[in-house]
Chains A and B, each alone.
Chain A
């Protein structure tokens, strides 16, 4: 099964859920205002959000006029194009260090799936023959370190850890130091889940990021925000607030194997220009795929 197929299959549920509504829209006999209204509602119901939904409907309307579309049957192509446009600024490739280890920090709110995503990323890079190190920077939540260690065992990679309650910045520092001296290719740094409106926790994150850059110039090379695919419009606030304390470089959207449509990806990319880099599609080691705007759009729009 190719990457594309898997991505598509994972989104199957999301796809049918959106399509269930959209298919009805596209089957209407005449192209009139109700079709657009229904489309707007279907987008809203997929967490695309008010602003981007309105933008998208306008865009489709314009495209339909340009292409002289008269039947609703031809709308899916326009919608797909609008989605791709919304996502086009997103470059999903990972920024790797020129030489020395690449430092990847993974941040997000509680329960978004940070530790699981790190486990999968570790496996992904391990498969590519990279030397991977994990840093257990979630020193707050009970048993978070054990959870990462057990992912490390599954993926077959080493874990740098301190005690629960230790300074997360110190763990990351040690991880980077170990990676430098032992010639690792990639360090994946876990951090504790934190709600973005907790000022002191966000300050802590800023410190971790600063310490990383002091430990290795140019680090962190990637700061990935993990967003739960079932999250609604709050994901936008999360993006905004996290990018204020750490230089976000991309998004990991998790749990898209459920019925959630992950539509919130669209406003994040369109309004913040932040690329989605990975998509989580399950609990197994290999349930992580690079994001592709093309397949995301066509998975949602192809009838």
Chain B
């Protein structure tokens, strides 16, 4: 996410970092590069101008001159201004005092409204709400069908009146239906439309006055270019948009739209959508995104994610097993699953500070499919085989290979890796505390190279567990203070 802008911005600021004194010329050169980096990222021309002027003004001002590390100071200013540009702090949804809360999703064609609204429904259910999805896109062929299929997938009710009803009527009827069902959130999926299509905008207006929504969320494709401004302004002007969902942030977009929309309309970005898989939308934290853009990682989100997906009891049990070397293939599979639950590896790694600067990381193929294949192999074994892998003779290996759709070589490899892992674990009963970045690196290399021997060696395989030197320790700063005393 946002690698492109991140790399170019960091390059622009890199030259300032080490400098003891900053001349106006230094700042001017850096700002020119920042400007180009932002423009190449599709940030609106006017917004870029304002942003650069603001940073320059602060950078040549008092604070920087007096600071011991002026370069760092400039990076800090860019970070603060970026955060400010994106809205400062996280914005939550407004809920109705009297349920149901009504939320309309609007936007251009193909921005991902239907996908986003299904994910939003999941987000609400995660927080113990009862959402009702409403299919009010009567224009696009099969749009209603799409929402119904998604609703079935995630087991959330979908209300529709076919494609002959008028959208404002559908919305009104949906609220009555929600009250009848006892649903407390009504999510209305509207048809994609051009912001300059008067009739279609009129229809949204009518729907708005018919149902009086608590939130009108504009879905914006994160890959949108300079036109994002026109779109957001027009929708906002006509309807009074209360928030923005940025979709397709899992692409390699530089996300200029993210930096622009909030700045020109004042509408806060409330969620980001990552991928087509049905999982809850992520809340948008401007400070964390700014931190990611500047390559400072996003440890907070990573920890939150780990807490959400990892099972603490399991992790503790795992640690015990590791220490007593009673680690079986079953446990190994559990671990693989837990790591996979965190989300695509690439996304996880980007949240770790400094990861993007590691050489060679771009060449490592971060493919989750290796994990999946390993899981399949283990799953094809019998209980006995998983508990005592030593029984795996040639014919058993052949059966497992056939069962999991791999070659015997793959099975051999996995077993060998597991064996190595066990030996390693016996050796490191105390469990490594100093492998750090290098350990993580070799873990990655191994993952792509096929040798999993050091996955657990580096601790990277058990992020939910206790000692995970590959991941920064959340209590780091506190320990640091202790040392000082």
Q: Interface residues, chain A, CB within 8 Å of chain B? A: 13, 17, 41, 44-47, 49-50, 109-113, 140-144, 146-147, 149-151, 154, 164, 195-200, 228, 230-235, 237, 255, 257-261, 263-264, 283
Contact flag A47-B251 (CB < 8 Å), given A230-B108, A257-B194: no
Contact flag A255-B109 (CB < 8 Å), given A41-B45, A45-B226, A261-B227: yes
> Is B111 in the interface zone, CB < 8 Å from A?
yes
Complex Cα–Cα for A264 and B42 (A): 11
Distance (whole angstroms) from the CB of A198 to the closest CB of chain B: 8
The answer to whether A47 touches B42 (Cβ under 8 A) is: yes
The answer to whether B42 touches A259 (Cβ under 8 A) is: no
Complex Cα–Cα for A232 and B40 (A): 9
The answer to whether B252 touches A234 (Cβ under 8 A) is: yes
Contact flag A233-B254 (CB < 8 Å), given A146-B145, A147-B141, A255-B109: yes
Contact flag A110-B42 (CB < 8 Å), given A141-B146, A260-B227: no
Majority-rule SS of A interface residues: loop
Binary contact readout B22-66 vs A (1 if CB under 8 angstroms, 0 otherwise):
000000000000001001111011000000000000000000000
The answer to whether A142 touches B253 (Cβ under 8 A) is: no
Contact flag A232-B230 (CB < 8 Å), given A110-B248, A111-B111, A200-B367: no
Complex interface: chain B residues within 8 A of A257 (CB): 194
Complex Cα–Cα for A261 and B230 (A): 11
Binary contact readout B138-150 vs A (1 if CB under 8 angstroms, 0 otherwise):
0111110111111
Contact flag A234-B42 (CB < 8 Å), given A112-B110, A141-B146: yes
Chain A, residue nearest B367 (CB): A199
> Is B126 in the interface zone, CB < 8 Å from A?
no
Complex interface: chain A residues within 8 A of B388 (CB): none
The answer to whether A195 touches B248 (Cβ under 8 A) is: yes
Binary contact readout B82-117 vs A (1 if CB under 8 angstroms, 0 otherwise):
000000000000000000000000001111100000
The answer to whether B227 touches A258 (Cβ under 8 A) is: yes
The answer to whether A142 touches B149 (Cβ under 8 A) is: yes
The answer to whether B225 touches A47 (Cβ under 8 A) is: yes
Complex Cα–Cα for A199 and B194 (A): 32
Complex interface: chain B residues within 8 A of A259 (CB): 195-196, 227, 230-231
Complex interface: chain A residues within 8 A of B230 (CB): 17, 259-260
Among B41, B140, B196, the residue within 8 A (CB) of A233 is B41
The answer to whether A234 touches B36 (Cβ under 8 A) is: no
> Is B184 in the interface zone, CB < 8 Å from A?
no
> Is B276 in the interface zone, CB < 8 Å from A?
yes
Chain B, residue nearest A255 (CB): B109
The answer to whether B225 touches A232 (Cβ under 8 A) is: yes
Complex interface: chain B residues within 8 A of A237 (CB): 4, 252
Complex interface: chain B residues within 8 A of A228 (CB): 110, 221, 223
Chain A, residue nearest B260 (CB): A232
List the 8 closest A-B pairs by CB distance, nearest first.
Answer: A232-B225, A111-B110, A232-B42, A150-B141, A142-B149, A143-B146, A146-B142, A147-B142
Complex Cα–Cα for A112 and B153 (A): 24
Contact flag A232-B224 (CB < 8 Å), given A41-B45, A200-B369: yes
> Is B214 in the interface zone, CB < 8 Å from A?
no
The answer to whether B112 touches A111 (Cβ under 8 A) is: yes
> Is B365 in the interface zone, CB < 8 Å from A?
yes
Knowing that A109-B251, A233-B42 are A-B contacts, what are 5 other residue pairs whose CB atoms are under 8 Å apart, sorted by A's residue number?
Answer: A143-B145, A195-B252, A237-B4, A259-B230, A283-B109
Binary contact readout B113-156 vs A (1 if CB under 8 angstroms, 0 otherwise):
00000000000000000000000000111110111111001000
Complex Cα–Cα for A237 and B3 (A): 13
Complex interface: chain A residues within 8 A of B224 (CB): 230-232
> Is B256 in the interface zone, CB < 8 Å from A?
yes
Complex Cα–Cα for A258 and B369 (A): 40
Complex interface: chain B residues within 8 A of A231 (CB): 221, 223-225
> Is B250 in the interface zone, CB < 8 Å from A?
yes
Q: Interface residues, chain B, CB within 8 Å of chain A? A: 4, 36, 39-42, 44-45, 108-112, 139-143, 145-150, 153, 194-196, 221, 223-228, 230-231, 248, 250-254, 256-257, 276, 365, 367, 369
Complex Cα–Cα for A109 and B231 (A): 20
Complex interface: chain A residues within 8 A of B194 (CB): 255, 257-258
The answer to whether B251 touches A230 (Cβ under 8 A) is: no
The answer to whether A47 touches B227 (Cβ under 8 A) is: yes
Distance (whole angstroms) from the CB of A136 to the closest CB of chain B: 11
Complex interface: chain A residues within 8 A of B139 (CB): 283
Which of A144, A197, A263 counts the most chain B CB atoms within 10 A?
Answer: A197
Complex interface: chain A residues within 8 A of B41 (CB): 233
Distance (whole angstroms) from the CB of B389 to the closest CB of chain A: 29
12 contacts between A and B (CB under 8 A): A44-B226, A111-B109, A143-B148, A154-B141, A200-B367, A230-B108, A232-B223, A234-B254, A255-B108, A258-B194, A259-B195, A261-B226
Among A110, A195, A234, A261, the residue within 8 A (CB) of B110 is A110
Contact flag A234-B226 (CB < 8 Å), given A44-B39, A44-B45, A258-B194: no
Complex interface: chain B residues within 8 A of A234 (CB): 42, 223, 225, 251-254
Distance (whole angstroms) from the CB of B455 to the closest CB of chain A: 21
Among B45, B108, B223, the residue within 8 A (CB) of A45 is B45
The answer to whether A50 touches B251 (Cβ under 8 A) is: no
Complex interface: chain A residues within 8 A of B223 (CB): 109, 228, 231-232, 234-235
The answer to whether A197 touches B225 (Cβ under 8 A) is: no
Distance (whole angstroms) from the CB of A118 to the closest CB of chain B: 12
The answer to whether B196 touches A151 (Cβ under 8 A) is: no
Complex interface: chain A residues within 8 A of B148 (CB): 143
Distance (whole angstroms) from the CB of A61 to the closest CB of chain B: 19
The answer to whether B251 touches A196 (Cβ under 8 A) is: yes
Complex Cα–Cα for A261 and B195 (A): 14
The answer to whether A232 touches B226 (Cβ under 8 A) is: yes
Chain A, residue nearest B40 (CB): A50
The answer to whether A50 touches B110 (Cβ under 8 A) is: no
Distance (whole angstroms) from the CB of A22 to the closest CB of chain B: 14
Complex interface: chain A residues within 8 A of B248 (CB): 109-111, 195
Complex Cα–Cα for A143 and B153 (A): 12
Among A44, A110, A151, A198, the residue within 8 A (CB) of B112 is A110
The answer to whether B141 touches A110 (Cβ under 8 A) is: no
Complex Cα–Cα for A228 and B112 (A): 13
Among B40, B111, B145, the residue within 8 A (CB) of A142 is B145
Complex interface: chain A residues within 8 A of B196 (CB): 13, 258-259
Complex interface: chain B residues within 8 A of A199 (CB): 365, 367
Complex interface: chain A residues within 8 A of B276 (CB): 110, 140-141
Complex interface: chain B residues within 8 A of A144 (CB): 142, 146
Complex interface: chain B residues within 8 A of A41 (CB): 45
Complex interface: chain B residues within 8 A of A195 (CB): 248, 250-252
The answer to whether A196 touches B225 (Cβ under 8 A) is: no
Distance (whole angstroms) from the CB of A14 to the closest CB of chain B: 9
The answer to whether A233 touches B40 (Cβ under 8 A) is: yes
Complex Cα–Cα for A200 and B344 (A): 12
